[in-house]
Amino acid sequence: MIIDWKSTALKIYEDLKEKIDKLAKKPKLVVILVGENFASISYIKQKSKWAIYCGMDFELRQFSNDIEEDFLLSEIDKLNKDDTVTGFLVQLPLPKYMDPDKVINAIETKKDVDGFSKETIAKVFLNEDGLYPCTPKWIKRLLDIYNIDVSGKNVTIIWRSNIVGKPLALILINAWATVTVCNSKTKNLDFYTKSADIIVCAAGKPLLLKKEMVNSWSVIIDIWTNFVDWKMVGDADFTSLEPENMITPVPGWVGPMTVAMLIENTYLASLRN
């Protein structure tokens, strides 16, 4: 069975559009882009499209890829202090000579709509309210929408990144799941996938998860799009798994849900600012 996140995202946009319509002041989302990374430009187009669709103001501030880090930090400081800006983000990756941690953590937590800052991660850790990181947030939302209660379930997350694996583990632990986070040094990966009710693939390893590694009842959330010989494939072998397992599709586009959570975070920030 295919988990249809596209129509789920559209429903979230419609709900947000309605709520934003009722606000006295339009929220404003700003994206900073340094350089001209092709993938970043295409991600930003989606962010702008859906922010505007939902009734927000959107602004792109683009800088050349030879600006000084201090200049970028001073631009961030201006946005932190600008009352007309509800939330903003710095599109990653940054040029190699910049320190992304320093840049991200310069964003005020209440305007950090990506949810990448250390303060936000501390909120996730402590199960406090906050603008949670968008990808782990949508994975939990998708499970909720499909009435998949994680409480008491075994969840195996395949890979331990700061942006997805680790915060997702915390969110699910807070919801009473038993969580295993695997990494590239994990021995016998199939031992952990075989004991899971829910498997989240976030490794960037094409077709890593095979049918013989999972139970027939396991729900599989695959967030990665890999290219093999110009063909799009996920981390999970969709073709062999889909007939039996509940699974998110690849090809299919993971973007709408992540962007939906970004727009939702901007809306939530507008209620708090």
- Give catalytic residue positions: 47, 91, 114
What whole-number distance in Å separates Cα of residue 110 and Cα of residue 221?
Answer: 29
| Residue number, 258 or 266, with CB nearest to ligand GUN | 258
What whole-number distance in Å separates Cα of residue 199 and Cα of residue 238?
Answer: 13
**75 is a site residue for ligand GUN (CB under 6 A):** no
Q: Which stretch binds ligand GUN (CB under 6 A): 53-61, 90-98, 138-146, 200-208?
A: 90-98
Nearest Cα neighbor of 263 from 41, 54, 39 is: 54
**50 is a site residue for ligand GUN (CB under 6 A):** no
Q: Which of residues 6-45 bind ligand GUN (CB under 6 A)?
A: 43
Q: Which stretch binds ligand GUN (CB under 6 A): 16-24, 71-79, 83-91, 223-231?
A: 83-91
| Residue number, 10 or 92, with CB nearest to ligand GUN | 92
- Per-residue binder mask for ligand GUN (CB under 6 A), 115-144, x = binder: -------------------x----------
| Residue number, 120 or 258, with CB nearest to ligand GUN | 258
- Give least dist CB 154 to ligand GUN, A: 28
If phi > 0 it is left, if psi is from -120 to 50 it is alpha, else beta; for residue 175 that is: alpha
| Residue number, 86 or 91, with CB nearest to ligand GUN | 91
